[in-house]
Amino acid sequence: MMQVLLLLDKSSHTLLCEDLRDKIVRTLELKGHQVDVCELDKGDVFQCLGCLLCLTKHPDECVNKDIVNELRKKVKQYSATFFLTPVLFGHYSSTMAGAINRGAGSHDWQVFIGYGEDITGEEKQTFIDLVSKHRGAADIVHPGMDRKVDVFVTMSPEDNSKICEVMSYA
C-alpha cells in the first residue's frame, strides 16, 4: 500500500477537474492505496522566493510558513504526489507553482495532470514538454532528485478515464 498526496487548485475548480479527482481517488483506493486530498487556495499559498535555503541551510523547510511548508515537512511520508492543475498557456497554475517550486512533491513519484477544455495543441505539448523534458530521469541540473515523473493532459471525461486506466496498471 502506498500513501498518496493529491494536490488540487481550489481556485480553478471545474466539472472536468472534479470528475478527474473522483476518478483518480477511486482508482488509487481500488488499488489499496491511501489517498490524502489537499486543496490549495491561491490566496493562501506563498510563492517561492528562489532563496534556495531549502536546498542548503535547512532542507525540508521553507522560509515561508504556510500550508505548502507543512506539506513539504511531510513529503517523505508520501510515495507519490499527484498535481492536478489547470493548463494556462501551457504552464501549471500559479497556485500549483507555489507547491511545485517549493518542493511539495514526493521524490519517489510525481504525476502531473493538466486539465482544461479549451487547451490548444501547442499549449498541451508545452505542458507535457515542461515536465517530461526536464524532470525525473531527464533532470540534468539535479539528476536523481525526483525518481519517477509522469505527465498527462485531459480535455474531457473520456481522457480522465484513459488516464485512470493507465494509473491502474502503474
Partner 1 sequence: MPDSEMKTVCIINGSLRSKKAASLAFSRDLEQRLPADKFETISIGVKVRVKDHYPKTTLLKIACADAIVLVFPLHNYGLPGSLMRLLEEYYEYINSGGEYKKSRLYMIVNCAFPRPAVVNGEVVRVVRNFCKRLSLRWRFAVCIGTGPVVVMTRRVPLFYHTLKKAYADIALDIRSSDEELKNDYFIKPVIPEFVITAIRRHYERSGKMIEG
142 CB contacts (<8 Å, ≥6 apart)? none
User: Which member of 52, 144, 158, 169 binds partner 1 (CB under 8 A)?
Assistant: 52
Among 2, 33, 38, 46, the residue binding partner 1 under the rule CB under 8 A is 46
Candidates 18, 30, 34, 55; binder of partner 1 (CB under 8 A) is 55
Binding status of residue 147 toward partner 1 by CB under 8 A: no
Tell me how long the chain is. 170
Report whether 89 contacts 114 (CB < 8 A).
no
Q: Does 91 bind partner 1 (CB under 8 A)?
A: yes
In the complex, least distance from residue 15 CB atom to partner 1, rounded to whole angstroms: 19
Cβ 112 to partner 1, closest distance in Å? 11
**Going by C-beta distance under 8 Å and a sequence separation of 6 or more, which residues neighbour residue 55?**
none
Q: In angstroms, what is the minimal distance from the CB of 63 to partner 1?
A: 10
Distance (Å) of CA 127 to CA 39, 70, 122, 150, 164: 21, 27, 9, 12, 19
**And the C-alpha cell for 77?**
511520508
Residues that bind partner 1 (CB under 8 A): 42-53, 55-57, 64, 66, 88-95, 97-98, 100-101, 120, 122-123, 126, 129-130, 133-135, 140-141
